[in-house]
A = this chain, B = another copy of it.
Amino acid sequence: MAWQEYINVQQPRFVEELLEFVRIPSVSAKPENAGDVQRAAEWVVERLARAGIEGAEVLPTDGHPVVCAEWMGAGPDKPTVLIYGHFDVQPAEPFDLWTTPPFEPEVRDNKVWGRGASDDKGGMMVPILAVEAMLATQGKLPVNVKFFFEGQEEIGSPDLPPFVRANADRLKADMIFSADGLQWAPGQPQIVEALKGLISLEVHVQGPRGDLHSGLHGGGVANPAIALAQIIASMKSPDGAITIDGFYDDVVELSAEVREAIARVPFDEADYLAETGAPATSGEPGFSTRERLWGRPTLDVNGLSSGWQGAGTKTVLPAEASAKITCRLVANQSPETIYDLIEAHVAAHCPAGVTARVTRNPGRADPFLVPSGHNATAVATQVLEDVYGRAPYRTRAGGSIPVMTTLLETLGVHAVMFGFSHDDENLHAPDEFFRLDAFRIGQIAYCQLLETLGRS
């Protein structure tokens, strides 16, 4: 029997198993569900064993556990592929907005409805089932495969970096694929080439010791809220370019070829404005909206705070003012360098009569850009084209996925996102669902991916 036929025949059982997996409320954010996260890890180990992967283990971290497993039977001449996914899920609240209870999943309209069905329980089962199909029909895999599943993705994987560093040998691989990823739309695959990095900071401006009466002291001492406005305004030109000295220095410019690839992905400006409700798109000149969203670094003020914010008037000259700022970085910007540049900028642009300081918040992430011509990406692209009959869009994301950076930094390998969820599947909202078509197509795609990698 070919793996294709196995997948077709076993699909009803696979769906039942997905329902069983979704029934475990492995909410990593809620301490009372810690036992469920552990139970989900154990379920994964059993499921791997059923797929023919022996020796899978639940391994502890300082928080929720991880699951590691490997099948190294292809031998040292064949590449080793690491597949990543996660078995924890988002909280399901508010429960009353669900059509059916989040942890009592059911099948409707050829979709599985339940918390985690799409993110990422369905997604992470896909490569396990693909491996089962190949092992069951051929007794072996075309390449060596390692599995690395975690239980804390939805809370930002706080304990993952030390675990990966401590287990770098165990996780060592030639290529990494993340089963936690999205396709562009049903029938339209994508390859995510880049993710943005992130830094978060606060600018604090201090004027007088305490709030002063604006009538008695206005005109005598500088106003920290105005000084903060002047500092922020100095960071961006009126046309939207960031004016912090050196900010763009390390940016990998978008090549003509990359800009063409971005332009091939449909983008409707009117739809985008209707979605966001903004009166106009806006940003750095010289780039399309999508180029800015995907390929250019940004600086946003996330919050402003100063003085009186209640109703009506309070004639106060505030003692202090502060702004929360995040920057999204692109390759090859370094979070540390950008922090330093912003700190220098604030020092150079602090008006007379106040003092300003910058504090750095936790949560920095390096930008992630798959090198042009990267082998795993090329193979994944070809497989997706074969499976869908359409070339995948080459996309980028404005968000950060810290685990991608962790794997790159520690293992030295650029992960390729190879997942089959869709962003309309209510991933972090009530009525999450996973398309069963995508579940099956994903299994086929993973089999083809392993086969193609085995031939190369």
Contact = CB atoms under 8 A, between A and B. Distances in A.
Interface of A: 196, 198, 200, 207-210, 212-223, 225-226, 228-236, 238, 240, 272, 276-284, 289, 292-293, 296, 298-309, 312-319, 321, 323-324, 326, 328, 351-355, 361-363, 397-400
A216 B300 CA distance: 12
Contact of A315 (B233, B302, B306, B362): B302
A397 B213 CA distance: 12
A44 to B, nearest CB: 29
27 contacts: A196-B215, A198-B215, A200-B315, A208-B276, A208-B278, A213-B399, A215-B328, A218-B326, A218-B398, A219-B296, A220-B276, A220-B293, A221-B280, A222-B282, A223-B301, A225-B303, A226-B233, A226-B299, A229-B233, A230-B232, A238-B351, A282-B353, A282-B354, A301-B307, A302-B318, A305-B305, A313-B361
B277 A218 contact: no
Contact of A279 (B228, B281, B354): B354
Given A208-B276, A229-B304, A312-B361, 18 more contacts: A198-B215, A208-B277, A213-B398, A215-B397, A219-B293, A220-B283, A221-B276, A222-B278, A222-B283, A225-B232, A228-B229, A229-B232, A229-B323, A280-B352, A301-B306, A301-B321, A303-B314, A307-B324
| Pairs of residues from A and B, 10 with the lowest C-beta to C-beta distance, nearest first | A209-B277, A282-B353, A233-B233, A229-B232, A219-B292, A215-B399, A225-B301, A222-B282, A303-B307, A218-B298
Contacts of A208: 276-278
A304 B227 CA distance: 12
> Which residue, A277, A279, A324, has most C-beta atoms of chain B within 10 A?
A324
B353 A225 contact: no
A302 B293 contact: no
A328 B352 CA distance: 21
A222 B323 contact: no
A355 B279 contact: yes
A304 B307 contact: yes
Nearest to A278: B221
Contacts of A219: 283-284, 289, 292-293, 296, 298, 328, 398
B308 A302 contact: yes
Contacts of A235: 226
Contact of A353 (B280, B306, B309, B319): B280
B293 A314 contact: no
Copies of this chain: 2
A116 to B, nearest CB: 21
A314 B216 CA distance: 37
A326 B198 contact: no
Contacts of A323: 225, 229
B316 A276 contact: no
Given A209-B277, A229-B233, A282-B221, A214 B302 contact: yes
Contacts of A315: 198, 200, 302, 326
Contact of A210 (B198, B225, B277): B277
Given A222-B278, A228-B229, A277-B209, A300 B353 contact: no
Contacts of A218: 293, 298-300, 326, 328, 398
Nearest to A327: B218
Contact of A220 (B196, B281, B355): B281
B281 A221 contact: yes
B324 A214 contact: no
Contacts of A309: 303-305, 324
Given A219-B398, A293-B219, A399-B216, A300 B277 contact: no
Nearest to A213: B399
> Which residue, A209, A212, A216, A221, has most C-beta atoms of chain B within 10 A?
A221
Contacts of A306: 301, 303-305
A217 B398 contact: yes
Given A283-B222, A284-B219, A293-B219, A209 B399 contact: no
